[in-house]
Amino acid sequence: MNKVLFSSLVILMSNSLFGQDQNVSADSSSQNGKVYFMRSTGFQGSASAFTVFIDDTLVCKLNNKRYSIHEVAPGTHHFSSQFAGKKSKEKAERIEINVEAGKTYYIELIFQPGLFINNLYCQEVTESSAKRFLPDLKEDKKCL
């Protein structure tokens, strides 16, 4: 009788432990927000990858007609892009987004040619705008 009771207890405890592990891994993605970086700059500026930063940390080198997806912890974050470099430049234009858990944000990399100096910056776009041109882009899962 003690063996049956002990075996039942062990099975019950192992099921509860494995169930908790599955819940933790399923909830971890909903605890973060998703950020899409999208680049479709046309012919101008398409020769080299743009570097993308979250809070001054390099997260991606994104080529033309590509997008990347990043999980970001909730809170206020700064997003920027530049033509080259492994460190975010102080003069780079930054946007600030308050990321919420479970939400998705879309950032378009905008290339603006100028007479003497070209400009590159990030611009947050709506989901409907992003879904319009996301099908024309390819996901870059290894953008570093």
Residue-wise pLDDT for 17-62, tens only, equals 344 333 334 455 679 999 999 998 766 656 688 899 999 999 999 9
Q: Determine what percent of the chain is predicted with pLDDT higher than 70.
A: 76
- Name the residue ranges covered by the structural domains of the chain: 1-30, 32-139
User: Per-residue b/e over 23-42, b at no fewer than 16 CB within 10 Å?
Assistant: eeeeeeeeebbebbbbbbbe
DSSP state of 31: T
pLDDT confidence bin for 132, thresholds 50/70/90: very high
- With a cut of 60, say whether residue 14 has pLDDT above it: no
pLDDT confidence bin for 96, thresholds 50/70/90: very high
Among residues 62, 56, 50, 35, the alpha carbon closest in space to that of 141 is found at 62
Dihedral, 38, 39, 42, 47 alpha carbons, nearest 10: -160
What pLDDT does residue 23 have? 38
Its sign, for the CA torsion 108, 111, 48, 79, is: negative
Among residues 138, 105, 132, the alpha carbon closest in space to that of 39 is found at 138
* Residue range 32-139, CATH number: 2.60.40
pLDDT confidence bin for 118, thresholds 50/70/90: confident
**Average pLDDT of the chain to the nearest whole number:** 79
> Is the pTM higher than 0.85?
no
User: Per-residue b/e over 69-93, b at no fewer than 16 CB within 10 Å?
Assistant: ebebeeeebebbbbeeeeebeeebe
What pLDDT does residue 48 have? 80
